[in-house]
Amino acid sequence: MSSHVPLGPQSIVCLLACLWSVTATAQVLPFDPYAEFQEAPPPVLPDGTLHWGTFFKSQSLEQSYRRLWSLGACRGTNKAITIPVERNKVIVDRLPEAEYRGFVRQAMGGNTGGVIAFSEQAGDPARAPVFFAQLHPAGVTRVVVTGPTSVRSLAAGMTVRLRTTVDERGQAAEPAKHIEVITLPPDFEPDAVRPGQRDTIVGRILRVRPDAMLVQVAAGRVRRVTVPLGDETEVVVDASEIDRIEPGDAIDVKGRLWTGEGSVGAGTIFVSNVTVTKHGPGRDPEGFAAVEAERP
């Protein structure tokens, strides 16, 4: 990867927002205004390769062209129009695919077209070039987020799994020892909570306090469970959502790098695979050096 001017935190957030907003409304398939019918490969090809379609260096140029086309203009072969339009295109699928690694600076959006900013180097993040990992707008980028995190990272909306015993009111008798933050498969069917029995409870966090969390369960008579949190409570992430990514996490991606016109920061990487390892509890999220020392 080439050297670029480093970006500050505010610049990263602004670029993330811009890139994500463009991708959130992007067309997954390539646009051919001269075709009578739009028919293109699906987002995932038979061999498992992701199909990205066309990236436009200038979104404003492309949108202007489409507006003119819809009004009945630009329907000929005027090279003064067609050549700039063609030069504005990048066929992402033709870019070479490679692997990149670094440390997360920020993440925005969800698995459908979200963006992750990361730096290759450890040390002072303000001095490191920032690359932007672009997830596929069809939500087919493979995402894996694993590793220990702190109790403080628990938040409403997370899906958790733990083993505990609750009474008829859904109150657990003791602080949770081990909590997993997970992503449920589409076909998951929850089990009912059995008061007085030590069960594996899977549910969505409704509310978190420093000393307890309230979890909603989707089956059985006891639908809300209050679980105390203690100093010894361990939290581990085993999920597939970029919402679980935090600054300082180690990241490995596989994707296609574009550093030309229209790219963001040090380069935009159209990623097919994202693997994130949590930075662990008690560590300063911006302390990249400690994470780098532990990487293989």
Residue type, 36: E
- Contact between 183 and 202 under an 8 Å Cβ cutoff? The reply is no
The pLDDT, as a whole number, for residue 279 is: 83
**Helical segments of 42-151, H only:** 59-70, 79-87
The pLDDT, as a whole number, for residue 108 is: 93
The pLDDT, as a whole number, for residue 78 is: 61
Q: State the Cα–Cα distance between residues 88 and 99, nearest whole angstrom.
A: 26
The pLDDT, as a whole number, for residue 15 is: 52
Local confidence pLDDT in tens for the 296 residues of the chain: 444 545 555 555 555 555 544 454 444 444 444 444 445 789 999 999 999 988 777 666 666 666 665 656 555 566 656 666 666 788 899 999 999 999 999 999 999 999 999 998 755 656 788 999 999 999 999 999 999 999 999 999 999 999 999 999 999 989 999 999 999 999 999 899 999 999 999 999 999 999 999 999 999 999 999 999 999 999 999 999 999 999 989 999 999 999 998 888 999 999 999 999 998 775 554 455 455 555 55
Q: State the Cα–Cα distance between residues 202 and 192, nearest whole angstrom.
A: 9
Q: State the Cα–Cα distance between residues 276 and 281, nearest whole angstrom.
A: 15
Chain position carrying tokens 């992750």:
116
Q: State the Cα–Cα distance between residues 205 and 176, nearest whole angstrom.
A: 14
The pLDDT, as a whole number, for residue 121 is: 72
- Contact between 234 and 205 under an 8 Å Cβ cutoff? The reply is no
Q: For the chain, list the strands marked E by DSSP.
A: 54-56, 89-91, 97-108, 115-119, 130-134, 142-149, 159-165, 178-182, 198-209, 212-216, 224-228, 234-239, 250-258, 268-277
- The DSSP annotation for 127-140 comes to GS-EEEEEPPTTS-
DSSP 8-state symbol, 49:
P
Q: Which CATH class is domain 98-149+234-296?
A: mainly beta
- Contact between 247 and 193 under an 8 Å Cβ cutoff? The reply is no
Residue type, 288: F
The pLDDT, as a whole number, for residue 280 is: 75
End-to-end CA distance of the chain: 20
* Structural domain spans, the chain: 27-94, 98-149+234-296, 155-228
Beta-bridge partner residues of 271 = 255
- Give Cα 130 distance to the centre of its chain: 16
